[in-house]
Structure 1
Amino acid sequence: MHDGLAQSSVAGAAGPMHHRGMTNTDPVAVPAIVDAVIRSRRSVRAFLPTPVPRAVVAELLDVARSAPSNSNTQPWFVHVLAGEPKRHLCEALRRSHEADALPPSAHFPAELPQDCASRQADFGVRYYGALGIDRADAAARARQSGRNFAFFDAPVGLIFTIDRGLTRHSWADFGMFLQTLMIAARARGLDTCPQVSFVRHEPVIADLLDLPQGRTVVCGMSLGHADPEAPVNRLRMPRAAVGEFAVFRGL
């Protein structure tokens, strides 16, 4: 084991899709495999301590770098943390969270569009219900929010940064990179949770990770194996039907 990144291999979850060259050209089998991997991805908020091999994390990033970006600018940068470096960051973030002194980071505008607001409210009911937390219990909710900064006990934590001078086009590129990384992880039987909660604590992260001037935190991510016994990991969120968000013209 090296800094919490084990040297053993992780069994792939997608069979032939695990290989760099896609030799399976079956027009039914390939979409079924890809679709199954995508649909099985979920945000996991309780992880087992099982180490993730350093080589596997590097392989995930090697796949994720294939994500598209405007004019091939590739605006992403990743800090991979495990072992003592991760524990050190988590402890600093825990202190910052408990002090509650940094300005809030607005996840959304003051007034969400009604469709988004209703989904957010539904998420809160389902999420805190799965945890057995009364939504009126602010202290319990704060403690659960603090779990973000332990990467939900995942063995690997990632912090993603971008040049703060880049525009929303590059942030869209970063989103595609993140999704590609999560799908690659899922194909290998790993789970993830992308976390914007880290953004509020950027001063702490910038200091401990020695971020260059001009870089800003996009989000964090927990990576590892889901704890199958954790009730929160049995949470499944509904998705709007295609007809609710797509209009077809000329097709």
Structure 2
Amino acid sequence: MSSQELTFSQVVKKRYSARAFLPSPIPSDVLKDILLKAQCAPSNCNTQPWSLHIVAGDKLRELSHALTADLKAGNYSLDFTFDKEAYPEPFRQSALEQVRSYYQALGVARGDNLSRSEVVERNVKFFGAPHVALLFIPVVGDNVRVALDAGMYAQVFLLSLAARGYAGVPQAVLSYFAQTVRRILNVPEDFRLLYGISFGIPDKTHPSLSYREGRVSIDESVVWHQ
């Protein structure tokens, strides 16, 4: 390993969810290398049950325009049910703390509904990123095993981005508009949208990058058996 390469520990610690990006795209040869590394992710019986649609340029602007219209109209079409409020404690508290820290970093006060609406809209504008990856899976049983495989693929993709100095942010909210995404990207109906990942060069001057989400201790998340 050359002195320029990061260790695994450095890559894991470097990865974070960026919510502001510069407009410069990732060079195609670099992006292909990142994707080749992501393809090394494990999967059940090596089925590799994921289909990643990467969107940029004019098609990205078309998609953003359509999703913005859907968001404003409340036109939701989820492939999988999702209710953040249904999380039991302490998981729900972690989500609330992330939202509080994010809005605080942006200087948006509680009760400022107009500003909060603008913050939500940033999601469907992909936080200014030049690329978004939409992660689809085929319908297999209850989809849990396939979603697990796709999640491992997405994690390797995110770590591969971080190793190159880029960043990404998984966005469950993009899956709220599955039918629109499928229509615009011409994705078959039997592939379901898990979520999207906006990615690119992080804009480190943006206030949303002024904080980092905390992590619970392993004593809270790991049970030891001997």
TM-score (norm 2): 0.92
Specify the alignment match of 1:121 in structure 2.
96
CA distances 1:84-136 after superposition (whole Å, capped 9, x unpaired): 11111111111111112326775336532110121122112111111111232
The aligned length equals 223
The answer to whether the 8 A contact 1:165-1:214 is kept is: no
The corresponding residue for 1:207 is 183
Q: Does 1:219 align with 2:195?
A: yes
Q: Distance in 1 between matches of 2:72 and 2:193?
A: 20
Matched-pair contact (CA < 8 Å) for 2:49–2:138: yes
Q: 1:60 aligns with which of 26, 34, 38?
A: 34
Q: How does 1:232-251 map to 2 (within 5 A)?
A: 232-250=208-226
> Aligned partners of 1:68 and 1:36: how far apart in 2?
21
Distance 1:171 1:116, change over 3 A: same
Q: 1:138 deviation in Å? A: 3.0
Structure 2 CA distance, aligned partners of 1:164 and 1:41? 30
* Alpha-carbon distance in 2 for matches of 1:235, 1:108: 25
* CA positional deviation for 1:226: 0.8
Judge conservation of contact 2:127–2:198 (CA < 8 Å) in 1: yes
Q: Which letter does structure 1 place at the counterpart of 2:21? A: F
Runs of 4+ in 1 over 6 A off after TM superposition: none
Q: Which residue of 2 aligns with 1:5?
A: none
* 1:60-139 correspondence runs (5 A): 60-102=34-76, 106-108=81-83, 110-139=85-114
Q: Among all aligned residue pairs of Structure 1 and Structure 2, give the percentage whose two residues are the same amino acid.
A: 30
Find the partner of 2:117 among 142, 146, 157: 142
Of 35, 42, 45, which residue of structure 1 is paired with 2:9?
A: 35
CA displacement 1:13-69 (0-9 Å, x = unmatched): x8335xxxxxxxxxxxxxxx1111111111101101122111111111111111000
Structure 1 stretches lacking a partner, 5+ long: 1-13, 18-32
Is the counterpart of residue 181 in structure 1 residue 170 in structure 2? Answer: no
Work out which of the two has the higher radius of gyration on C-alpha atoms and give 1 or 2.
1
The alignment yields a C-alpha RMSD, in angstroms, of 1.9
Q: Determine the C-alpha separation between the residues in 1 that align with 2:139 and 2:65.
A: 26
**2:140, 2:146 within 8 Å by CA — same for their partners in 1?**
no
Contact residue 56 and residue 130 of structure 2 kept, 8 A: yes
Whole-Å separation in 2 of the counterparts to 1:178 and 1:219: 10
**Structure of greater relative contact order (alpha carbons < 8 Å, 6+ residues apart):** 2
How far the C-alpha of 1:140 sits from its partner, in A, is 2.2
User: Which residue type is aligned with residue 195 of structure 2?
Assistant: C
* Kept in 2: contact 1:125–1:135 (CA 8 A): no
| C-alpha distance in 2 between matches for 1:240 and 1:66 | 28
